[in-house]
Structure 1
Amino acid sequence: MTNSLTFLTTEQRNERTKNMDEMTTAEILKVMNEEDRKVAEAVKQVLPAITKAVDHISASLKKGGRLFYVGAGTSGRLGILDASECPPTFLVDPDMVQAVMAGGGNAFTKAKENSEDDAAQGETDLKAKQLTSDDVVVGITASGRTPYPIGALKHAHSVGAYTISLSCNHHSEISDYAECPIEVVVGPEVLTGSTRLKAATAHKMVLNMMSTTAMVKLGKVYENLMVDVHASNHKLRERAKSILMECTSATYEEAEETLKKAKLQVKPAIIMLKRSVSYEQAKKMLQENEGNLRKAMNES
């Protein structure tokens, strides 16, 4: 590993903001907004690699494997954020999508920047998850050279788990340790070296794309609706009723009553309303079709 960051795109100075400390508030915000527009285009350039990653992730999850995000600092926090939102959005077990962060869970709210330099700890922390060849590991690092996720990917490779890297520099070091390297090159940051800006935005976009699309492939989505939403609070119960009304001709009252009968589960409630069957029959239809609502209703 080189000791210099000089040649990393994420460490270069942005020519447009060399006088940022002399800009007005409006000028700073304008240039930040214009730079942020470049992120989606950078992500577009790596869609083939993201497609490859998603296909492997969904295949792994279908056979009982798990998805792990590994990172330090902002990268680690983004992994935690995406992983933690999968259970309420898609009603999956919290173990299905997990995050491993340098410095542990406490580093989410209190920075432990030195922890990212320990490759051995990345390996140790992932070993604790009892990784198998059915799992997928995504190493996240804007610079592409952070030892912690590199150590984790080395361990993942040693046990036969599928490896993906996510970085923001061409020819990143971490790419050498991944079967599917994703390099989203967003260019120099508005604030030199502050990869919590464009680089983090790019990584947030890619992680959202990977987890959401994988869940679609798992049958967690019907049309563009969250039919596996965990209706655990008032807002989500109301969303569940709205989904029922969208998918069927049910009134609000009918949707509310059916949702209760379906134990707050949207998928069986939809089948109950559209096929006039009991909750038990609806559950059986789903089980016979691996939880895929469209297939259960013979609409494929």
Structure 2
Amino acid sequence: SGPFGNIATGYSSVVADLIGIHAGDYLITEAGFGADIGAEKFFNIKCRASGLAPDAAVIVATVRDLKTHSNKYRVVAGRPLPPEMLAENPDDVIAGAANLRRQIANIRRHGVTPVIAVNAFPTDYDSEHQAIMDVAAEEGVRAAISYHFTEGGRGAVELAEAVAEACAEPSSFHRLYPDELPLVDKIDVIAREMYGADGLDLSPLAARQLDKYERAGFGSLPVCIAKTHLSLSADPKIKGAPTGWRLPVREVRASIGAGFIYPICGDMRTMPGLSSAPAAECIDIDDNGEIVGLS
């Protein structure tokens, strides 16, 4: 994949796709983070540039993610998960499924067939996997439990078959907005249709910047919204599929060379970096040639 989908585009290059599509029966590429960010930018920026139309989209779902979106656990990056989160609890998976349902709808809004990949880990329980499969069945979506984390490629055969079936169906791919739509309306469409917002709250600076870009002739460019990947909203603490909120746009930058306008929402940092003691410092190879320090 390419740069992070929360602060940039989140996908690999158009050139990579144009090469890859001629190298095999299927081209599989990534669009980073959730469908609200990664897929939206892939569909509305990358596909606009490449002219390619996806036949299917795989939404990766994990038990831990859906439990997190139940809003019953406090998960902190870089710290161990709460022990109670690792206990068998399919009800919490169902409680967090509103986010998954929203992401399914986000894919369908673009006329693309979604497939759910239940990314299985050894700490999961069968009942929790089944809870995700039940949600997929209720939504009328193909789904497969994938064991590639522990079994490699052979553990993903069922998923591959589901994706191949989805690709064989007719696709009615379409982008979310036309080129001629004003920039502020493009942002508003994404906020409402993909994130579930009630509208936009533009800062005075953002409003001035949008007006300047329109007057400069950049109004036909797509928008690449910088927003937290931890929530559908602009607040990383709000989980699930929130309603009754508005998207705050702090400022808007113009990445003219890259070919998009760059709204920044909430408290986003656009240049992340490693901590003073990154986890990579703990990774090594022992005397037996085994890699240590990965967890």
The alignment's TM-score, normalised by the length of structure 1, stands at 0.29
Looking at both structures, which has the greater relative contact order when contacts are Cα pairs under 8 Å and sequence separation is at least 6? 1
**Structure with higher helix content:** 1
**Structure with higher strand content:** 2
Q: Whose radius of gyration is greater, 1 or 2?
A: 1
